[in-house]
Structure 1
């Protein structure tokens, strides 16, 4: 399978180059040259298959030309080492819980796949790989824990100072070893911009091997499609139309769902649910796509004003904006609406949402209420509520018990360096780091 750049379909590279480079030289995102459609027999037998069995077939359809059956099995088994339960919240409304991995966030799936695939592709290489990551919260913790102590790989994480929760921060800043953290005086978009500039800097790339583990990397993005197949397999009513609501920031997770649908999964509609960082919902409502400065909200992992995966979403629909707008609806909600949803769901069902899941729930309800009895819906709960304990406790008036895995991170000491919001400062850091 070759991978092309969203900015230039004529620029095609191998799987190894797409994964190791992360970003195309023209700043485009890599996309599979063709998207295989799985046979009807696969979907008929989905309810009988385990998560891993689904994973073998989906990943084989995409990567069988590049990886052996044993490599695919090892890759999938490593990635899907924990469950993704589908929980009924109310009649016709299901929550896909994606927080049962090591860092209790959905990005554990992609980070584990990416680290394992990268180590496979780099086998025999003598040079170290420098993985550059910008995070607004959960990406940092998932990537740090996914690559922790992986030989031949150094991870450098940039995150906005004061704009991630304490638990999120502790999950990636306390590890040490091959995980290096930079606290940037700015917002997530500033961190992301510096990472992108580093990938395009000729001098840096001549002196070191740089790659990304953000959702811009196909190895982080593609495996997220697996849990959409798994969720559909466990829906009790296959005859009803299905709408899936995805709380969205950088839009990799929504893109993975659309990839699953393009491969044949019968999802009738997607909802792009966001907070006040609403550039994509505005586009879907008729406005031109225009990046804006990010706005800080309670659902901080979605505080992205210039989502990198937007052009990947368009590419999945063959750059047909009308088709994109037919298949995806966008809604946005402010912090007050988010808190009200958290409180209402807890009071009526007993289910505890984190702020991101609450945004996904709101988008799903808004759509379904327009079509009474026509759709069943799934919304994604992308992080354990304990990762946002202070918000959850205040909104719900409870003292949420933290899982032991989160408690363990809280006891660690931060290991960080402060970086000014300046690419030259970041470049100098990388040059100095390269000599260590």
Structure 2
């Protein structure tokens, strides 16, 4: 299958080029030329399939022209090495727990798939993976690519704007993982990464790629857990709605990809914090990037979400259809803290701030829509935001062993000013 740029449908490349380049030369995001439709028989029998069997069907449909049966099996087995349980929180509301992987965040799925596929596609040349992170992407990619031969990972993150645990997960590894602490916000980190991809001198000297959700190999596999969640829901006549905590909007775009492939999802809720560029757009305000604002749900502190253009592409550029299928809501920190406490007190369920925002979006949607079966995505273990969660509940959060072990590691970082030329100088000296 060929992959086209969201900025130019006539620019088409192979799977290998889309994965290794990450970003198109015109700064567009790569999209599959066709969105394959799963047979109705597969959709009807999803509940009889394991997570891995669902993965074989979906990944086979998308990548079957480029990868062998054995390669697809190996990719899926490596990616889906842990569960994503669906947990009933209250009547008609479920959470999809996506934090049971190595770094306890949903991005483990995409990072493991991306690292495995890249190792299959890359040949002799050394690849440098550039990653901008507002939190969980850095830890997932760092651990997914840790010690992968022929790959060096360089992570840019905003100083003082990620949680201590998130920071420790990607700054303590060493080996082939380098961390740069940028004097700025996430959008500055993302801008510098994009500029590096477009810099001729850098690209003549080295092979650069990305493992952010802008890379199709990081983005596409996230659709798998939507199929899995749907397969485990009770079967009734109610509409199925997914509420997704959204920052760079890759996760919700993956859900829409699943829906476009034939999964009968009736709608999506894009739930955000006060960085509300997309919710405003969905209510009729022209899309306009803004400086990001710092919140307790820091992984969503994005003022210029790259994957917005994938949302449009998935609906064929039809803005009206996008606004019909996706509703957007935003919530401030005070409201987020309040609902975290309410759900813990009433249901005994502890949410992280991002899952709490998704829960709020789902509840707001359900206030004006009846006969709904709702799923909100819990994208990170509450322990990753221990300071916030403990302050809300006034009790200690017990960290899983693998999280606690990261806290013992020593940070290995370099400081970087908010300046592309300084970043370029760093890369040229590598």
TM-aligned CA deviation for residue 237 of structure 1: 2.7
Are residues 1:135 and 2:133 paired? yes
SS at match of 1:292: coil
5 Å-filtered alignment, 1:366-377, equals 366-372=364-370, 374-377=371-374
Aligned position for 1:290:
288
5 Å-filtered alignment, 1:20-419, equals 20-122=20-122, 125-372=123-370, 374-419=371-416
The separation in 2 between residues aligned to 1:126 and 1:237, in whole angstroms, is: 50
More deviation in 245-254 or 35-44? 35-44
The separation in 2 between residues aligned to 1:315 and 1:371, in whole angstroms, is: 27
The separation in 1 between residues aligned to 2:203 and 2:139, in whole angstroms, is: 26
The separation in 1 between residues aligned to 2:388 and 2:32, in whole angstroms, is: 40
Structure 1, residues 343-398: CA drift from partner, whole Å, max 9, x if none?
Answer: 000010000000000000000000012123x1110000000000000100000111
The separation in 2 between residues aligned to 1:191 and 1:167, in whole angstroms, is: 20
More deviation in 230-239 or 279-288? 230-239
TM-aligned CA deviation for residue 43 of structure 1: 1.0
The separation in 1 between residues aligned to 2:225 and 2:293, in whole angstroms, is: 29
The separation in 1 between residues aligned to 2:341 and 2:6, in whole angstroms, is: 41
The separation in 2 between residues aligned to 1:38 and 1:150, in whole angstroms, is: 33
Unaligned runs of 5+ in 2: none
TM-aligned CA deviation for residue 238 of structure 1: 3.9
TM-aligned CA deviation for residue 239 of structure 1: 2.4
SS at match of 1:220: helix
The separation in 1 between residues aligned to 2:364 and 2:380, in whole angstroms, is: 22
TM-score, reference length from structure 2: 1.00
SS at match of 2:83: coil
TM-score, reference length from structure 1: 0.98
Structure 1, residues 244-280: CA drift from partner, whole Å, max 9, x if none?
Answer: 0000000000000000000000110100000000000
Structure 1, residues 33-74: CA drift from partner, whole Å, max 9, x if none?
Answer: 000111110011100000000000000000010000000000
The separation in 2 between residues aligned to 1:32 and 1:267, in whole angstroms, is: 20
SS at match of 1:242: strand
SS at match of 2:391: helix
The separation in 1 between residues aligned to 2:214 and 2:368, in whole angstroms, is: 34
| Superposition misfits of 4+ residues, deviation over 3 angstroms | none
The separation in 2 between residues aligned to 1:77 and 1:334, in whole angstroms, is: 39
**Matched residue pairs, number?**
430
The separation in 2 between residues aligned to 1:238 and 1:408, in whole angstroms, is: 44
Are residues 1:17 and 2:17 paired? yes
Structure 1, residues 77-123: CA drift from partner, whole Å, max 9, x if none?
Answer: 0000000000000000000000000000000000000000000011x
Are residues 1:427 and 2:421 paired? no
SS at match of 1:270: strand
SS at match of 1:205: helix
SS at match of 2:369: coil
Unaligned runs of 5+ in 1: none
Alignment RMSD, CA only? 0.5
